[in-house]
Structure 1
């Protein structure tokens, strides 16, 4: 297989991987029309590059037994990809009116469907009996019907590339992070696609005027198409991969930030609870287990939550100018620290419900993180814990 064929097959593999990832997500969200459009676009693009590789063109011609029959097949697949790409943009942009979305989708698919049929009819009407695997566009640039077929597929391709490139560029300026990077990759890929079309047009017009610039079509444009595919596939892969990595990193940070609180109340985690997961387990599951262990321990410590301690620390924090949310976290942290000490004292007795402090910082992960930070860093919590140790010393 030559270099050009390897590039096209590599592009097909990359696009197929991207499509597989999207199909896996589609199984969990079968009703997501945007995800369906993305999956269809990537699959059709993979099919396009798999069939457009020169070795595959020769095999298709041989299998069917008609010279250049691979041309209308590849052009039809390319036009189908253009249609699915525009449908993708329609759903990506979105509209509050579902009926309007459906009408726009049907219109686009109808127009590109007619174009696919027209490509097949024009090929059947034309005469392309000499097999051309690399330079069919320029070799038959002046052949009746075949010429119109070539211009039709290029026009459909250009409209899709320009539309997709412009809209992705505009949207990239309104969104942050991995989604913005992905949109820029897609926009860049479509810019190369437009350059591919432009070079094809130049080479065809050169043929019409008696010149020969076939190398622009057979070499430069051919190579641009494969790089375009890599950029577009990467553009679709970056957002889910980037968002997934970002989500796991946030979970890891929260897991680490909860460690001071977990260590403080570890002795109160029920013995029936599973052992902490190993470091190679998914971080989301490890975070969930740590939160569950903390909540179980907080429930066991609840009878020893001293309302006097909580109120005192809260008032001190407010007097020092702390925000109410921070003051609540510090008060809860002090109450928990004192409860651990009290629970370990055989002489200590549970408090009556009326005298207990309500720990509200265990209601969410963010509040638990704030509570853990206060437990590790707050001077008021350290002071409260020290005074209790002094008070209970022999």
Structure 2
């Protein structure tokens, strides 16, 4: 019997918690990290315990019919309290205020969890119910109160989380905004889950059978709600985790054309060999360093008049200021490389006593590198400066 709607989000949450665990071990007193790991673990636990196969296994292992019910309810309350604590710490504020709010949330939902277990122990539930415990025992003393307390506490947590996330949603952008939007939707679905469950329970009180509202409407809605909440939370974490390496890789790759153009311009003894498993950030820095060394070697060959003409041509062609500057830099660098290679004895360098003034270009290496592929079109091949083309970078 499979219940992937619960099991898959549980696995996602557990893996996300493992990913944050090394940071927590390094900074065990960080309240935000503690809240993150606690929320992920408790939410994953609530998912695992809510899956029908796990419900049956827990009941069979303990020998107590429906033992998984108070266990799952207590884990759900732990998840609700941890979620509120997480949002409190995530938003930030005065430390004293954060500590007070954290204590209130943990105290409240800890007490509710204990009350749910106590009500289950006081009630009688001899028949195992895997999917419809709430409606089957809707009129049983103590178990009835347990269901009402669970719905009230879970709905209150969802409304608090909805309100906090909705207010914060207006203040952020990017992947955090997307994550919060998913969480807002998920918490609103949680309220819907509680409403439909209560409707099914109330129908039992009225002497009618509307259990399908609980099993076929509320339960699937609960799966969707919880999945949206955990995905909305994990998304910013994943973005934060991979944003840095992605920027390093993207920058390293985009610098490739410029790095290859300048290869071999500096003495081989100045090139530093990178270890095979060097991180992307180090590789990008090394590539930038090599490019700067190559540009320093080319400096005596830079033709500022050619750059100015290429800049005017790019601007006239409709390019914005930054793209036009990158195209002009690419034209100037390409011409300088050809001039240097046409001067194998390095006569220009030997007779140059000082570097030229900063031409104002090559400040954005990535743009300049990308502009190399657009150079023939963007720099207007027909433009001539002093008998040479600004686009092809030919020298007299």
* Counterparts in 2 of 1:173 and 1:256: CA distance versus 1, 3 Å: same
Q: Does residue 80 of the first structure (1) align with residue 78 of the second (2)?
A: yes
* Counterparts in 2 of 1:169 and 1:151: CA distance versus 1, 3 Å: same
- Show the 5 A alignment for 1:369-380: 369-372=366-369, 376=375
1:260: how far off? 4.7
Q: Does residue 89 of the first structure (1) align with residue 123 of the second (2)?
A: no
1:165: how far off? 2.6
* Counterparts in 2 of 1:379 and 1:69: CA distance versus 1, 3 Å: same
Number of residue-to-residue matches in the alignment: 380
Name the residue aligned to 1:143: 140
Provide the C-alpha distance between the structure 2 equivalents of 1:385 and 1:122, rounded to a whole number of angstroms: 94
1:83: how far off? 0.2
* Counterparts in 2 of 1:316 and 1:116: CA distance versus 1, 3 Å: same
My pick for the range that moved more, 81-90 or 312-321, is 312-321
2:289 to 276, 282, 292: 292
8 Å CA contact retained: 1:332, 1:359: no
Per the normalisation by structure 2, the TM-score is: 0.78
8 Å CA contact retained: 2:310, 2:379: no
* Counterparts in 2 of 1:317 and 1:10: CA distance versus 1, 3 Å: closer
- The 3-state SS of whatever aligns with 1:130 is coil
Q: Does residue 350 of the first structure (1) align with residue 347 of the second (2)?
A: no
CA deviation string 1:133-169 (max 9, x = no partner)? 3222122223232222222222111011122233334
Name the residue aligned to 2:168: 171
8 Å CA contact retained: 1:301, 1:336: no
Provide the C-alpha distance between the structure 2 equivalents of 1:328 and 1:204, rounded to a whole number of angstroms: 68
- Show the 5 A alignment for 1:319-334: 330=328, 334=332
Name the residue aligned to 1:44: 42
1:371: how far off? 4.6
- Show the 5 A alignment for 1:94-173: 94-95=92-93, 97-173=94-170
Name the residue aligned to 1:8: 6
* Counterparts in 2 of 1:372 and 1:328: CA distance versus 1, 3 Å: closer
Provide the C-alpha distance between the structure 2 equivalents of 1:219 and 1:321, rounded to a whole number of angstroms: 63
Name the residue aligned to 1:237: 234
* Counterparts in 2 of 1:128 and 1:355: CA distance versus 1, 3 Å: closer
8 Å CA contact retained: 1:305, 1:357: no
* Counterparts in 2 of 1:382 and 1:119: CA distance versus 1, 3 Å: farther
Name the residue aligned to 1:190: 187
1:18 to 16, 19, 41: 16
8 Å CA contact retained: 1:45, 1:81: yes
- The 3-state SS of whatever aligns with 1:106 is helix
- The 3-state SS of whatever aligns with 2:76 is helix
* Counterparts in 2 of 1:260 and 1:217: CA distance versus 1, 3 Å: closer
My pick for the range that moved more, 183-192 or 324-333, is 324-333
- The 3-state SS of whatever aligns with 1:132 is coil
* Counterparts in 2 of 1:315 and 1:207: CA distance versus 1, 3 Å: closer
1:29: how far off? 6.3
- The 3-state SS of whatever aligns with 2:128 is coil
Unaligned runs of 5+ in 2: none
Provide the C-alpha distance between the structure 1 equivalents of 2:149 and 2:394, rounded to a whole number of angstroms: 85
1:9: how far off? 2.5
Root mean square deviation, CA, Å:
4.0
Name the residue aligned to 1:67: 65
1:207: how far off? 1.9
Provide the C-alpha distance between the structure 2 equivalents of 1:90 and 1:80, rounded to a whole number of angstroms: 15
1:386: how far off? 4.0
1:86: how far off? 0.7
1:282: how far off? 7.6
